[in-house]
Amino acid sequence: MHEMSIAMAVVGQVEEAARAGAASAVRRVELQVGELAGVVPDSLAFCFELACAGTVLEGAELVTRSVTASARCADCAGAWAVGMPPDLCCPVCGRATEVELLTGRELRILNVTWEDAPAADSCREPISEEA
């Protein structure tokens, strides 16, 4: 199940950013997931919850934004939505010699929402200037 390795990688990257940003807790992570990325959203959500346990992300919401797959024919410049299973034969000219996948393989972190750590109370005496 590669969803667990994806979830662990996402948690690791978000943890690193949260530490650098002095976050006290991560509340929400938004991922962009292409239809051809080979990711099962329910499995990813389950694995994400497990990977977050004991981290600053514990209890964070995972939101996935699906990206429809699309392709373009280099021969005629025709573009089309690619379904499942992927049909990489151009519906305009019928060729499949030079087809470029435009979208559908994405797997990226879009946005992270976290809470900032509370500012430390200052216990120092006010600085006074002597003349």
The CATH number that applies at residue 87 is 3.30.2320.80
Is 73 annotated as contributing to ligand binding? yes
Determine the pLDDT at residue 1: 60
Q: Is 9 domain-assigned?
A: yes
Is 89 annotated as contributing to ligand binding? no
Q: Is 123 domain-assigned?
A: no
Is 93 annotated as contributing to ligand binding? yes
Is 47 annotated as contributing to ligand binding? no
Determine the pLDDT at residue 97: 77
**What pLDDT, in 10s, does the model give residues 95-131?**
877 889 999 999 999 999 998 876 554 444 443 344 3
Instruction: State the average pLDDT over residues 27-38.
Output: 95
Strand duo 107-116 + 23-34: pairing? antiparallel
Cβ–Cβ contacts within 10 Å for residue 17, how many? 14
This prediction has a pTM of 0.79
Which structural domain, as residue segments, surrounds residue 103? Answer: 2-115
Structurally, the chain folds into a number of domains equal to 1
**What pLDDT, in 10s, does the model give residues 8-25?**
999 999 999 999 999 999
Which amino acid, one-letter code, is at 39? Answer: V
